[in-house]
Amino acid sequence: MNTRLFVLLSFLLSLSGAYAQKYSNEFLSIGIGGAANGNGHAVVASINDATAAYWNPAGLSRIHPDIRLQLSAMHTEWFAGVGKFDYLGALIPLNVSGRVIAVSLLRFGVDNIPNTLTLYEQDGTVNYDNLSSFSAADYAFLFSYSQALTPSIPGLYVGGNLKIIHRLIGPFARSWGFGLDAGLQYQRNRWQWGLVIRDLTHTFNAWSFQFTEAEKNILQLTNNEVPINSLELTRPSLVLGVSRSFDLGKYGLRPELNWIIHTDGERNTLFNMDPLSFDPVLGLEGNYKEQIYLRFGFNQLQQETLFGEAVWTIRPAVGIGIHPGAIGIDYAFTDPGGGGESTYSHIISLKVGLKQ
């Protein structure tokens, strides 16, 4: 059986009867934008463009007041193009000062997967004419709102997301899910703080499965359980962030520290105590006249066993950005999926702001 198909079927079977699934909707933790990825994902306190809908929706209302519309897009690939991750977003300030809406679309997919379940005839012979292909894709639609609470509380911004999630694995399985995110940012002088609660009310994915009688027989003959309709649950996670900007004349410097707190059980993180796991994220961004940016960062500090010895590993990131006016091009080189050296990818994103 094709390796990719086997992995996908194993995932399907693991969902059978599942309710609380660890690492559920994990494609939403990959991260969007060349700027944020180059900064190691440490952006919760400082993000202030269209990608804030993903990282911290409160940052949407901190867009430059001259911008009346901002479009943002990203593309990256894994394993020489086998997996593709794409993002497209739009930010629209409302006529009421300090209020912003945004819409975002994310897709992570693996296309042209061979379906080998029908490769064999009933007599055991191989018939390549029966070979077909399918796609496995995860979609997320974000509808965001953000508002500045000035002048009542100067420097405070709040925001939220409605998430609609659609996941499908060829003709075999599909699901629909819904969830909410909430966030805030607070700025005082050169200090910035951020808070995001993802999957605030839990995110629910309702899975349904469609197998033909012949496919069910193949699963049973290979000692696999035929999955049944089930409900998958994504537990809330919390992200805290603090950042400070330094003005050095023509140059600027902004370090940021984030803490990701998972609530879905003990993970391989720096600190963990079931059911909470704490994962630090650190980033550093330097700029020249706010037009040329250099970024460094790391996340996923984990302890792994290497040649029988326990060692600490991190996922590093590096990036560059060029922002001439309202146009920004950002590039990052990192491992979006945390899978090791073989999954390091080039991430390129573009944003265009239109003034009134």
Mind listing the pLDDT tens digit for each residue in 25-42? 888 888 999 999 999 999
Region 98-118: mean pLDDT is 87
120: pLDDT confidence band, cut at 50, 70 and 90?
low
CA distances for 163 relative to 18, 136, 177, angstroms: 21, 20, 8
Round to whole Å and give the CA distance between 145 and 60.
8
pLDDT of residue 150: 80
Give the residue-averaged pLDDT of 90-105: 92
Q: Which residue has the tokens 């500045």?
A: 148
Confidence grade of residue 75 (pLDDT, cut at 50, 70, 90): very high
Q: Domain residue spans in the chain?
A: 3-355
Q: Look at 75-79, 84-88, 175-179, 294-298 and tell me which has the smallest mean pLDDT.
A: 75-79
325 Cα distance to chain centroid: 27
Cβ-in-10-Å burial (0-12, 13-18, 19+) of 181 comes to: buried
Residues 6+ apart with CB under 8 A from 55: 32, 33, 36, 41, 43, 44, 47, 196
pLDDT digits (tens, 9 = 90+) for 131-146: 777 888 999 999 999 9
Q: Which residue has the higher pLDDT, 291 or 308?
A: 291
Residue 305 has pLDDT above 60, yes or no: yes
Domain boundaries 3-355, corresponding CATH code: 2.40.160
Q: How far is CA 129 from CA 74, 136, 219, in A?
A: 37, 22, 21
When the pLDDT of each residue in the chain is averaged and rounded to a whole number, the result is 85
Handedness of CA 337, 338, 344, 350 (dihedral sign): positive
Q: In terms of residues, how long is the chain?
A: 356
Report the phi/psi class of residue 249: left, alpha or beta, with left for phi > 0 and alpha for psi in -120 to 50: left
